Amino acid sequence: MTNLSYERDITGLLVVDPYNDFISEGGKIWPRIQAVAEANDCVPHMEQILKAAREAKLPVFFAMHHRYREGDYENWKYIAPIQKLAWNRRTFELGTWGGEFKAEFVPVAGEVVASEHWCSSGFANTDLDNQLKRRGIHRLIVIGLIAHTCIEATVRFAAELGYDVTVVKDAVADYSDEMMHAALVINMPNYASAIVTTEQVVAAIMAMRNAEPA
């Protein structure tokens, strides 16, 4: 998509799961995504997009995964495989460094952190849809982790709810190139209106800012 443009009043940046366990050296999941994330400069691109959004005063929202707490799932009859893995690994453990925002992504005043999602979609069983609608947001720029799970599930759900979605393909990462391909080339084009680069989306954000009256 070459004619990428946004309007501040209806557009928001959605940052998914910028936890230390995911995107910081020493995080529990970082070794599994490191090769893919470093190959496309995922984390620096995420930082670049967030900086551009803040400079342009674009509304910013965070969709964060449920942080491990003692006793999670113990009385659940049905637990999804992805939840079992998180439970066993104590991923994003509450009260630990791994369960904190990476320093560069700590929300600032006015930014919205939606209630934590239990599985993959940032919308399922959270207040994200309500938070967006209360602010008149209809278009989303999505960045974060992991391409074939939380990003794809969130993008699919957003499309079901009627949002127009842009995914930034070099500001997401996955466990392998094959998983990235499946998410970005096969699956998400069915739900995202645009799948673009950081360069493209930052240029569109800056154009929106520069087009406004002084």
Confidence at residue 160, expressed as pLDDT on a 0 to 100 scale: 98
Rounded CA separation 164/159 (Å): 7
- Which tens digits make up the pLDDT trace of 18-75? 999 999 999 999 999 999 999 999 999 999 999 999 999 999 999 999 999 988 888 8
Rounded CA separation 205/18 (Å): 21
- In eight-state DSSP terms, residue 204 is H
Rounded CA separation 11/57 (Å): 11
**Full set of structural domains in the chain with CATH:** 8-210 (3.40.50.850)
Two tokens, residue 170: 């070099």
Query: Predicted confidence band at 124 (pLDDT cuts at 50, 70, 90)?
Result: very high
pTM of the model: 0.95
- Which tens digits make up the pLDDT trace of 66-100? 999 988 888 899 988 888 888 888 899 999 999 99
Return the closest-CA partner of residue 155 out of 116, 127, 128. 128
> Which residues are CB-neighbours of 135 under 8 A, at least 6 positions away?
12, 59, 112
